[in-house]
Structure 1
Amino acid sequence: MSSTNENELKKEKKTNIRWMLAVYDVLIFAIVSIILLVLYGGMDKLSPTGILQQVCLSFVCIFGGRFIGKIYSQIWRYGGIQCYVRLFFTDVIAFCIYLCLELILPVQKITFARMLSLASLNLLGALALRMMYRYAYKCANQETKGGQILSILLHLFSGLDAESQNDVQKIKIAIIGAGRIGVGLAEELLSNSETTYIPRSFIDINSEKVGRVIHGIPVLSENEATFEKLRELEIQEIVFAIPTMDAQKKKLLYEYYKKFGYKLKVYDYPTMRTAGGKRHLREFDIEELLFREPLVVSDERTNAYYKDKVVLITGGGGSIGSELCRQLAKMEPKKIIILDIYENGAYDVQQELKIAYGNALDLQIEICSITHRKALEKVFDRYHPQIIINAAAHKHVPLMEHNCVEAIYNNVFGTRNLVELCEEYHAERFMMVSTDKAVNPTNVMGATKRMCEMIVQSASTHGTVKYSATRFGNVLGSAGSVIPLFKRQIANGGPVTVTDKRIIRYFMTIPEASQLVLQSGAMANNGELFVLDMGQPVKIMDLAENMIRLSGVQGIEIVETGLRPGEKLYEELLVKTEELDKTSNSMIFIERDSALSPEEINTRLNMLREVCETGDDSQAREVLRKAVPTFKKPEEVNRVAEFVVHQKKSDPEREEAVAI
C-alpha cells in the first residue's frame, strides 16, 4: 500500500472515530431524554408535542455548542484536563442558551430543575464516556486479563486496536519512586504509543503505597523487589525517579541492581544543563557515579554583590571560566567581559549566552593573553572592570613539567600583570582561581599556582584592591581531566589507562567550583585564601570501573601505566578543620597563611624572570623550588604517602581519609 493511501486511510479512520463519538453522545442524550422527559412525569407532565419541542431545543443547544466549541475535533485518547474543562464550559454555555430560549420561545415549559438535570446528566455521561475511552486506550496494551478485555472492548466500540507490546518489543522497566515524578514518567510512557519503554512495576519505601496499584502498575517495596521478582516481571532496566534521594542510598541501590546486571537510568534533568530544559530518561552521568551530595554555595548575598557590576573573566572560554560566565549571567551584571587567548572557546560561550539572554545581557569578547601587558592595558582602559576573576592558566600537570618556562610566564607573570593593572585602574576586587595542586606542590603547575597565591596575598597588604584566592580540587568534565580521556578510550574499545591503581582524588562539579569562586569572592574582606570541603576522596580505579560498566561495553581492560611526571599518588586533604578558620558557609574555610612582603615577592619574581629569559626548563624548575619552598619532589611525597597508608591499614580502628 502506498504512503498516500495509508494517509487517506488514517484520515478516514480519524473522521469515523469523531462521528462515532458524536453518535455515542446522541445515544446518551436519547437515554437521558427518555428518562427525564418521557418516563418521569412530575408536576409539569409534558404532552407528546411538548416532549418533541424540549428534545429538539435541548438537542440543538447542546450539540450545536459542542460543534462550535470543537469538542469533536479533539483526540480524546490523548486528552488532558484541558479537554474536559472545555467540554464542561461548552455545555454550561449551551445550558444558559437553552434556558433563555425556553423562556422566549412559545414551547411547553418545564421546571428549571428538570432542565438542569437534563443538561447535567448529558454532561456527566459525555465525561464518563471519554474517561472510559481514554482509560481503555491507555491500558488495553497491558499483558494482563484486564488488558485483554479492554482491548476487545476498545476494538468493539471504537474500531481501534491496541498496539501489542510484543510487536513493538518495548523495554520493560521498574521505576524507583512512586511519587509525583515517577508516576508522571509512567503516565507519559503509557500514553505515548511511540515510546520504546513500558513500566511494569514501581519500587518504593512508602508503606502507604506499597502493595497498591497505580495506573495498573504494582508498587513493590525494596524488600519485595528481589532479582526473582523482577525476573518474573521481565524487567530489563531500572529507572531512578527520585532526584532528592540521598547520595549514599542511591549508591547502595545502584550497586545492588548493577550486581544483577540491570541497565540503570535516571529520569531527571541533565546534570550539566545550563538553563531551561525538561526531565527526560537518560544514562547516569559521571557526576552521579561519584554519589556525593551536590554543594549549593550560591546565595542571595552573592547574587546581589555582582548585580550591576562590570566583571572581567580571564580564561572565560575555558571549562571553569565559561561556567563562571553562565553563573554570573543569572546575577544581572552590568557587563561581562570574556577575555581568552583561544577564540573558539570564547565564541562558543558568547553564542550560548546570546541565545539564552539576548540583548538583556551586555557581553563583550576580548582576545589576548594575560602575558601581553599592552593588550591587557587596552582592555582595562576600555571597560574599567570593577571585578576581575582570573581563571586563565596553564593547568595540565604533565605538559607543564616539560614546559616549565611557559608555565611560569603564563601563570605567574600573567597574574602579576593583572594585579598591577587592578591597582592602576582602581578595580574593586581581584579573585584568583587556584587549585589543590598548590598544597605542598610536587609539580610545576602546582608550584606556579602557589606562587600566584603568594603574589595575591602580598598585594592585599599594601594595595587598594580587595584580593582573594579560591582553592579547589579536580573538576569533573573539565578540559584535560581524566573523565573525557576515559570516555574516549572506552569509545575506542579500550584499554582504559590508569597511572596507578592506588591513586585517589577529590572531585567537584564545574558549577560547584564556579559558585564557590563567586561566593568566596563576594564574602572576601581582603587577602583570604579560601578552600572548600571537598568531601570524601574518590579512587580513580573505581571511577574507571564504573564508567566501563555504565558504557555497557564488554571486555574493556584497565591498564596501569605508572605515575606521570610530577604526579602525586594521594591528593592531600584541602580541609583540615583544626588548621582553618570557618566562614558563614559550612563548606568554605579560610587557610591561615602569612603574606610575604612586597620586597620578598619582588625578589622571587626577579629570580624567576632571569631564569625564564634563559629558556632552560630544568634550570627554571630548580629556581621555582627556591621561590616556592613547599615545592617538593613527587618521589619524596609519594614515599611518605605510601608509609602513612600502610600504617593506617595496619591499624583497623583508624578510618580517617589519607592526609599527608
Structure 2
Amino acid sequence: MQKLQLILQKYIKHQWTAALHDILVIPIAWSLAYWVRYNFDVVPTGMIEQGIQSLLYIIPAQIISYWYFGLYRGVWRFASIPDFIRILKATCVGVSLSIILLYAVSNLATIPRTIPILYGLFLIFMLSGSRFAYRWLRDRDIYRSAGKRVLIVGAGRAGEILAREIRQDCNHVHYPVAFVDDDKNKQNREIHGVRVVGGVADIIGAIQKYSIQAIFIALPSANNKQIQAIFDVCQGTQLPVRILPKFDDITLDKVGVELLREVSIDDLLGRDPVSLNWDSISKSLSNKTILVSGGGGSIGSELCRQLCQLSPQNLIIFEQSEFNLYEIERELKAQCKAVTVIPYLGDVAISQSLDECFSKYKPDIVFHAAAYKHVPMLEANIREGFNNNVVGSNNIIKMADKHLCETFVLVSTDKAVNPTNYMGASKRISEQCCQLMSQSSKTKFVTIRFGNVLGSAGSVIPLFKEQISNGGPVTVTHPEIVRYFMTIKEACQLIMQSAVIGKGGEIFVLDMGKPVLIKNLAEKMIRLSGKIPYDDINIEYTGLRPGEKLYEELFYDEEKLKSTGFDKIQLANSASMDLKHFQNLLSNIISACENYQEQELIELVKPRYLSQNDADLALINNNIIPIKQNY
C-alpha cells in the first residue's frame, strides 16, 4: 500500500497525468453503461460497433467540457466539494454536447435512451471517486505519524477547521485524536474521522484513555469564565495548552494552526467584550487631529493603535522616550498608512515644548497618558514624580485651554483615591487641575480613573513572568493584597467612549469588576508556565513596600456614583474644592519642583493628601503589616 501511495504521489501531481486518467475513464464509463443496460449480459455485436463509433464524438466533447470547467485547477491531494461540483458541471455539459453531436450524425436511432444517463452517472462516480480515493490514501497515515497526540476542546466550526488544518500539515507535528464539547448533540459523533468523546468534564479521562500529549482550545467565541473553567480542568494535567484567539482578533476564515498560542493571563482575568457606541466614537474622533501624550507607553501606545482604526486626520504622538517613540511610529506607519502619524519628541514638564507642538499642529482632541506610575520609585524620587505628574499635567491642561482644543482627557488611576503614596497624591492633584480648568475653559476637560491594566510596563505581571522564567521564587508583598485589573485594550476603548460622552468637568470611573488576589494571580501564572506552585516554584511574601496599600479604591466616599448609560462607565460626583486655596497650593508645588525643594514639596503635600492616621502610616512605611499564617 505504501509503495502504491508513492507511485501515485509521483505521477498524479502532474496535470497531464490527471488529464490522461480522465480521458481513459470516458470509454470505460461508456462501456459500463452498455453492460448495465443489457443486464450485465453480452452486448449485441451491432451495439458494440455503434458504441465504439460514438466514442469518436463523445471523447472530444468531454475533453472540451473538462477544459472549460477547469477540472485541473484543483489538486487531487485536497479534493473537496468545489472539485465535485466542477465534475458535475463538466459531466452534464459533456453528456449534453455528446447527445447533440450524436443526434446530428445518427439521429440517435441505434443508441438506447438510458445509455447517456448511465454513462453520465458512471463518469461522475469514476472522476470524483478516484480523486477522493487518492486524498484518502494520502491522509490515511496521518494518525500513525510521530506527531503529538492532540485533544481539541470545542467541536464547532473553529474546531473542525483546526482539525482539518492539522491533518493537512505535511510536517505532521500534531494530529487530532479526540474532541470534547459540552454540546450533547455533538458528542459521540465524528469530525474528519475524529470522535467527540465527551464534554469538558471528561478531559482528564480522555487524556488518560487516548494518551494525549497536548490540548488545543478552539473556542474563539467563549467568554472568560468558560476559558477559566476549561483551564482549571487542564492545569492539573501538566500538558501544554494552546488556545485560538477570540473572534475579536480573528475571523473564522483565518483559523489555523499558526494562530494557536499559549493561554495568557488575559484569557483568565480579562472580561467579556465591552459594549460601545462605535458610531458616536467614530463620528467624534474621525477626521480630527488627535494628540496622545505618553504615546509610547503601555496605555498611550494601545490608545494610538485604536485611534488609528478610526481614521483621524492626524495623530500626534508626544513622547519623552526616543526609543518608545521610534517603535510606535514605525508600527503605526506600517499598519495605518492612511493616517498621518506625527512623532513629537518632547517633555510635558517643559511648557515651551508643548506650546510649540500645539501651535504647529493645533490638535482638536488631547489624550493625556504621560505619567510616572511606579509607586516605590516615586517614593524615592518625589520631586521628579511631581514634576512629571503635576507640573507636566498642569502644563498640557493649560495648552489645551490656550489653543482652544475641543476635548482634553486625563488618564488617572485608582491610586488617586485616598492616596497613601506620593504617586497617588500627584495623580489626585492632576485630577483637581483638570477640574479647576474646566470651570473657566471652553475646552471639555474629562478625567477617567481606573485600576491596573494587564501586562503594562512596570506592572506585576511582567515581573512575575521574569521570576518564573528564572525558576522563582515569585515575590508577593502580602498574601491579602488585592488589585483591580482590566486589559489594556478594554481600558483604551472605555477611555475613547468616555471622551465622547463627557460634557466637561466629569470624573468617569471605569467598572473594574472584582478585585484580584495577587497571591492567586501568581499561582495562576505559575500554572500557565506548566509548573506547580510551592512545589516547582515557590511564592515568597516580602511585606508591603513604602506607600503601598492592601487594596485600592476607585472613588471617595463623598463621590456618589451615577450611571452614564454605558456599560462599565460610571460618573463620580466630584467633591467641591476651595479654588483659591488649591491655586495657591498648586503654585507652591510648581515652585518647589522648579527649585528642587523636595522637603518643602513633602510638607506641602503630605498633610493635605496622605493619610493622617499615624498608626497606619507607621505600619505602611515600615512594611510591618502582619502577615497571617496558613496561606
Which interval holds the TM-score relative to the shorter structure? 0.7 to 0.9
1:389 CA drift (Å): 0.8
Distance in 1 between the 2:232 and 2:172 partners? 27
Distance in 1 between the 2:581 and 2:527 partners? 53
Asked if 1:488 corresponds to 2:466, the answer is: yes
1:76 CA drift (Å): 1.3
AA of the residue aligned to 2:591? E
1:101 CA drift (Å): 3.8
Distance in 2 between the 1:637 and 1:299 partners? 48
Asked if 1:209 corresponds to 2:169, the answer is: no
Distance in 1 between the 2:612 and 2:298 partners? 26
Q: 1:253 to 1:586 in 2, by over 3 A?
A: same
What's the counterpart of residue 522 of structure 2? Answer: 544
The structure 1 residue matched to 2:30, chosen from 33, 43, 47, is 33
Asked if 1:299 corresponds to 2:300, the answer is: no
Deviations 1:634-658 (A, max 9, x none): 9449779999999xx9xxxxxxxxx
Asked if 1:83 corresponds to 2:87, the answer is: no
- 2:412–2:449 CA contact under 8 A, matched in 1: yes
Asked if 1:585 corresponds to 2:586, the answer is: no
* Secondary structure in structure 2 of the residue aligned to 1:295: coil
Distance in 1 between the 2:9 and 2:138 partners? 16
Q: 1:436 to 1:633 in 2, by over 3 A?
A: farther
AA of the residue aligned to 2:295? G
* Secondary structure in structure 2 of the residue aligned to 1:208: coil
What's the counterpart of residue 225 of structure 1? Answer: 202
AA of the residue aligned to 1:253? I
Distance in 2 between the 1:122 and 1:563 partners? 80
What's the counterpart of residue 3 of structure 1? Answer: none
What's the counterpart of residue 419 of structure 1? Answer: 397
Q: 1:557 to 1:544 in 2, by over 3 A?
A: same
1:609 CA drift (Å): 2.3
Distance in 1 between the 2:99 and 2:81 partners? 27
Deviations 1:14-53 (A, max 9, x none): 32565775676456434421233465379x9964443112
What's the counterpart of residue 622 of structure 1? Answer: 603
RMSD of aligned C-alpha atoms? 3.5
Distance in 2 between the 1:242 and 1:325 partners? 29
What's the counterpart of residue 14 of structure 1? Answer: 10
- 1:36–1:114 CA contact under 8 A, matched in 2: yes
Deviations 1:478-521 (A, max 9, x none): 11111111112222222222222221111011111111111001
Q: 1:631 to 1:216 in 2, by over 3 A?
A: farther
What's the counterpart of residue 137 of structure 1? Answer: 138
- 1:434–1:469 CA contact under 8 A, matched in 2: yes
What's the counterpart of residue 243 of structure 1? Answer: 220
The structure 2 residue matched to 1:319, chosen from 265, 273, 298, is 298
1:343 CA drift (Å): 2.1
- 2:510–2:569 CA contact under 8 A, matched in 1: yes
What's the counterpart of residue 486 of structure 2? Answer: 508
What's the counterpart of residue 376 of structure 2? Answer: 398
Q: 1:247 to 1:116 in 2, by over 3 A?
A: same
AA of the residue aligned to 2:573? R
Q: 1:102 to 1:211 in 2, by over 3 A?
A: same
1:222 CA drift (Å): 2.7
Q: Superposed, which structure 2 residues align to 1:564-579 within 5 Å?
A: 564-573=545-554, 579=560
Distance in 1 between the 2:88 and 2:590 partners? 81
What's the counterpart of residue 150 of structure 1? Answer: none
Q: Is 634-643 or 10-19 further displaced after alignment?
A: 634-643
AA of the residue aligned to 2:430? C
* Secondary structure in structure 1 of the residue aligned to 2:509: strand
Asked if 1:283 corresponds to 2:262, the answer is: yes
- 1:458–1:595 CA contact under 8 A, matched in 2: no
1:594 CA drift (Å): 2.7
Normalised to the residue count of structure 1, the TM-score between the two structures is: 0.84
AA of the residue aligned to 2:11? T
Asked if 1:185 corresponds to 2:182, the answer is: no
- 1:495–1:556 CA contact under 8 A, matched in 2: yes
Q: 1:608 to 1:584 in 2, by over 3 A?
A: same
Distance in 2 between the 1:335 and 1:103 partners? 72
The structure 1 residue matched to 2:310, chosen from 319, 331, 335, is 331
Q: 1:104 to 1:237 in 2, by over 3 A?
A: same
The structure 2 residue matched to 1:452, chosen from 430, 436, 455, is 430
What's the counterpart of residue 262 of structure 1? Answer: 239
Q: Is 419-428 or 229-238 further displaced after alignment?
A: 229-238
1:412 CA drift (Å): 0.8
Deviations 1:360-408 (A, max 9, x none): 1122111111111112111111111111110111111111111111111
1:556 CA drift (Å): 2.3
What's the counterpart of residue 229 of structure 2? Answer: 252
What's the counterpart of residue 406 of structure 2? Answer: 428
- 1:317–1:345 CA contact under 8 A, matched in 2: yes
Distance in 2 between the 1:371 and 1:608 partners? 13
Q: 1:510 to 1:11 in 2, by over 3 A?
A: farther
Normalised to the residue count of structure 2, the TM-score between the two structures is: 0.87
- 2:201–2:233 CA contact under 8 A, matched in 1: no
* Secondary structure in structure 1 of the residue aligned to 2:202: coil
1:311 CA drift (Å): 0.8
- 1:189–1:195 CA contact under 8 A, matched in 2: yes
1:587 CA drift (Å): 1.2
For structure 2, the 5+ residue unaligned runs are: none
For structure 1, the 5+ residue unaligned runs are: 1-8, 143-163, 650-660
1:221 CA drift (Å): 2.5
What's the counterpart of residue 508 of structure 2? Answer: 530
- Equivalent residue pairs, number: 612
Distance in 1 between the 2:546 and 2:250 partners? 35
- 1:461–1:595 CA contact under 8 A, matched in 2: no
Asked if 1:606 corresponds to 2:587, the answer is: yes
* Secondary structure in structure 1 of the residue aligned to 2:274: coil
1:598 CA drift (Å): 4.2
Q: 1:272 to 1:643 in 2, by over 3 A?
A: farther
* Secondary structure in structure 2 of the residue aligned to 1:589: strand
Distance in 2 between the 1:515 and 1:73 partners? 45
The structure 2 residue matched to 1:383, chosen from 361, 365, 368, is 361
* Secondary structure in structure 2 of the residue aligned to 1:268: coil
Distance in 1 between the 2:558 and 2:388 partners? 33
Q: Superposed, which structure 2 residues align to 1:52-201 within 5 Å?
A: 52-63=52-63, 65-66=65-66, 71-72=71-72, 74-95=74-95, 97-103=97-103, 110=111, 114-115=115-116, 117-142=118-143, 164-165=144-145, 168=146, 170-201=147-178
- 1:176–1:203 CA contact under 8 A, matched in 2: yes
Q: 1:45 to 1:302 in 2, by over 3 A?
A: farther
Distance in 2 between the 1:393 and 1:633 partners? 29
Q: 1:578 to 1:57 in 2, by over 3 A?
A: farther
* Secondary structure in structure 2 of the residue aligned to 1:238: strand
1:571 CA drift (Å): 2.1
Distance in 1 between the 2:122 and 2:619 partners? 83
Distance in 2 between the 1:639 and 1:370 partners? 31
The structure 2 residue matched to 1:409, chosen from 377, 387, 407, is 387
Distance in 2 between the 1:319 and 1:631 partners? 33
1:60 CA drift (Å): 2.7
AA of the residue aligned to 2:399? L
1:414 CA drift (Å): 1.1
1:532 CA drift (Å): 1.0
Distance in 2 between the 1:520 and 1:107 partners? 80
